[in-house]
Structure 1
């Protein structure tokens, strides 16, 4: 959100099909106090104190299938500052129970979509029923907000197959909560939206469809639209490397681990040096599988494995691998805890990998008063032999805001994104996208590749630590003057020879009356963790630098030192951070004018 004063940290909004009512302010802790609601409805409530229990009454008829789905962690897990009583109580862990008018427990659910429960119940008789929602630990806090969707609409999880190739339409079946295949649906492979970029090569698009069940439309079902050819897991036993099902890549596979200890093996022929990219979608589609990917050689020896996605912070796995020799190999999919069942579906995306890159970003919001600057950071991950420069762009900046041009040289991974607001910039805000652009290949085989950035937001964790979560939107706002009016670093051209030092003089201008401490730095640190860096390898901040300006202090210095083997760069734009604390763990990252750093060759 953006106002004339500031932009907010991230929040999440749940969009529902049903009318929304608020939890009443009067007590609803018991069935006698239950809030009566009319179906279908989405109730927005809060378990605002320890041992709080929220009760809702619904009128149901015999034969109806009642569905109650809670959205709690799914709509709060990326929001900063959700620690209630650390280190043990962190985020709401909802527990759902259904009772009849006599207080008899009829159904209950704890964890289904992560900690969020869903309850499906066939009504045995006409009457009033009571739904009880609380935290599983009897915790509570004003930040324990939730939405609960209540209806008698048929509920389905997803579709099988789980994906369709772009440009095609295929018939699929809806999957119910027990993992059973039900109604037919059509999956339409609409092309990737114009102007929207992929984070990685051949990334599938997420689409949605509704099934028709029991004479009415279901909830929306997620499926994937992929540029790759599609297949379903073949029938028969392929639960060992000797019996692996043969496949050719590129391909997407829709499969299922239908019993505990099941492992699905897929065999393929590979040439020495050929790189492959494999990725599983399961948790991201609502299934319980905690996927592990493994590669075996022709003798059944485990060569490499991967657990969890390194960027999207999900239990879905991604694995990049290059064949060490010509031969037969197997890729295997299993559950980390050797679980399986009717609803342990997965989608495996596999392809020969070409040279490519990813952009990973830090930070996701900036608020600039006219005439000031702020700084973000990027981290370039180059893959499969790509070793070229990457130009960073910020698309969609508000009027009067510009980005200092930056191309990350082949010898560097990390760099600064410096945002500047003109002195005449009008107040306003815009959602923006951080992108990387590079030319890969040479001559007639050269191709321009543009990748949207994986940008993360911070979240305060238990015990004072910070977690990072991917976020799909970034915001830049032009706001009224804030604590720092100006940050200046001189000289604007700085040269360093290997083994030598150079000094940046830093001067700040404070808003009248602002005397809080201002931290000067060249990297974005949280305790000992560096979340954002911009200096070339081998260039560091030397002792004697000013770490903090307090009270009426307005001037300091940053001393940069180049090691004898420091990476050479020419006119790399960097900036001095001037950090002002907002909370224990959130700071506003002002920065200086760009300083163009040259590190000479040895």
Structure 2
């Protein structure tokens, strides 16, 4: 029987105390969503999508994270219509299909600023490429083993073409793609592999007037024993081809106030000095974009002073954008310390898609090393905490783990006392209830910077008929909670778990479920419950 989910309900308030982990189980036939083609669209357009996956019931409904994107099912199974508002903020939106049986996992959909064109086969032969006119994003797919896609672009001598592919890193395509620029007579003039994660990007300057071919092919992202080019229906990509403005990063990488975000400069290719940026900001970041800019970039919003160059004797807390100009060099940043005041030193570069694998050293006023750290994982950033043993000047020294340096070796340094804070996480983004039986939803409280206050949580969006209460296990754990959900009615609905601290609204936090396969954590949780079984006959 089809059930209607009520769009509003009263939130349940619970106190975070203890927790027990219990995974959700799937019902009979919720939809599955494996990929979307095309993988994105331009602002202000409506596009038809093919959704890969399994849909035993059709039509389905589709939930979208963020405002400005709406999805409607078409008549044919697996076909969707996506409308993107003119004022939608460029970036990644997350789509989830759902019906009366449950909800699918999330899939990414990218909103961009440039016009989109569709890849057209046959285009495997570099001598007969698909001709591209203007600055565009090509929505394509390496749809079978051995597939190669070629695109012809006319360039003038000295003109710079940026070719940037979004496949595995952004769209989670199962491909490890490669980009080449090939001359009309078949010679490879430029090539890139793994510029951003597994995805390639290159900037090519034409040596002479002529038509140049951008060639795309790939291998499986999970290596196997085959020796051939890889492809499948799920190998979706978006290829930006532009001789216009393309940003690499904001300069500086951080601002102290959201209203300052639109005033930063952009480093990249073909970026005019007079470019007027728009900014969409939240508490931690601002997204910068413009109609004539091929891609959006993010800038950090800090709660303390920020600097674009090394100031004289800065006092924590502060943030600084720096650059390692040459291979093997260290950037030295002096700052003032107080004896016994713990400080956290954090250096980010990979989080911005930049090139530094940061090695961080802290030196005392006699230039003796008192602390050192390097990335804890491949292509990670670095953080350490130390306590000065004396008043006076100290120095942070930042270098690259592999002795790199150059234009893209840019980083954001933050020096600040540890801030009391916390994070809430749950083990899964979807939970299935059996009517009449409680389900334990595990919530973990990760306390940071000495945070010790009690946290209250509000279960927002739970539909009428779903009850939430805290249960206490036999072995209490102060950093975990068990939230028990029960219902006697069928439901399929989103909800959120929001943590609050009494008299401190700035410490409101939303629980997130880490999704390792997507390199993403979502605050949008789903609960599903089928019809209650009939009562047993006496």
Fold shared, TM-score > 0.5 on shorter chain = yes
Moved more, 181-190 or 352-361: 181-190
Q: Distance in 1 between matches of 2:506 and 2:297?
A: 34
Contact 1:207 1:224 in 2 (8 A): no
TM-score by length of 1: 0.62
Tell whether the 8 Å contact from 1:160 to 1:172 is kept in structure 2 after alignment.
yes
Aligned CA-pair RMSD:
3.7
- Contact 2:315 2:337 (8 Å CA) reproduced: no
Larger Rg: 1 or 2? 1
Any idea what the Cα deviations from partners look like across 1:264-303, whole Å, max 9, x if unmatched?
2333333344232333332222211112333333444433
- In structure 2, the partner of 1:17 is 113
Aligned pairs for 1:519-538 (under 5 A) are: none
Query: CA offset at residue 158 of structure 1?
Result: 2.0
In the alignment, which residue of structure 2 is the partner of 1:174? 266
Match of 1:100 among 175, 178, 183: 183
> In the alignment, does 2:402 pair up with 1:337?
yes
* Among 177, 196, 203, the residue aligned to 1:120: 203
- The answer to whether structure 1 residue 478 and structure 2 residue 478 are counterparts is no
Corresponding residue to 1:223 among 299, 313, 335: 299
Tell me the secondary structure at the aligned position of residue 116 of structure 1: coil
CA deviation after TM superposition for structure 1 residue 345, in Å: 1.0
Quote the residue 1:8 is aligned against: 104
Identify which of 153, 157, 169 aligns with 2:244.
153
Q: CA 1:58 to 1:322, structure 2 compared with 1: closer, same or farther past 3 Å?
A: same
Structure 2 vs 1, CA of residues 46 and 252 (structure 1 numbering), >3 Å: closer, same or farther? same
Q: 1:156 to 1:141 in 2, by over 3 A?
A: same
Rounded Cα–Cα distance in structure 2 between residues aligned with 1:160 and 1:448: 28
* Residues 165-212 of structure 1: CA deviation (Å, up to 9, x unaligned): 1165375332125xx99726678898746xxxxxxxxxx32331449x
- For residue 437 of structure 1, what is the aligned residue in structure 2? 500
Rounded to whole Å, the distance in 2 between the matches of 1:270 and 1:140 is 55
The more displaced of 63-72 and 265-274 is 265-274
Could you report, residue by residue, the CA deviation over 1:294-353 in whole angstroms, capped at 9, with x for unpaired residues? Answer: 33334444333344479xx96222333444555543333222212111221111122222
User: For 2:529 and 2:117, how far apart are their aligned partners in 1?
Assistant: 34
Match for residue 206 of structure 1 among 254, 269, 286 = 286
Contiguous gaps of at least 5 residues in structure 2: 1-95, 221-227
CA contact (8 A) 1:294 1:306 kept: yes
Say whether 1:349 aligns with 2:414: yes
- Quote how far apart the aligned CAs of 1:398 are: 4.4
Deviation at 1:229, TM superposition (A): 1.0
Partner of 2:384: 319
Please list the CA deviations of residues 378-412 of structure 1 after superposition, one character each: whole Å capped at 9, or x if unmatched: 33222333334333344333454443247999952
Deviations 1:63-87 (A, max 9, x none): 643322100122244xxxx8xxxxx
Which structure has the higher relative contact order (CA within 8 Å, separation 6+)?
2
Give secondary structure in 1 for the equivalent of 2:351.
helix
- Mapped partners of 2:414, 2:512: distance in 1: 19
CA contact (8 A) 1:174 1:184 kept: no
Equivalent residue number for residue 14 of structure 2: none
Question: Normalising to structure 2: TM-score of the pair?
Answer: 0.68
Deviation at 1:127, TM superposition (A): 4.5
Query: In 2, Cα distance between the equivalents of 1:172 and 1:281?
Result: 18
Instruction: Indicate conservation of the 8 Å contact 2:327/2:405, yes or no.
Output: yes
- How many residues are matched? 428
Secondary structure of residue in 2 paired with 1:107:
strand
2:330–2:397 Cα contact (<8 Å) kept: yes
Indicate if the aligned counterparts of 1:169 and 1:187 stay in contact, CA closer than 8 A: no
CA deviation after TM superposition for structure 1 residue 247, in Å: 2.0
Alpha-carbon separation, structure 1, partners of 2:513 and 2:443:
9
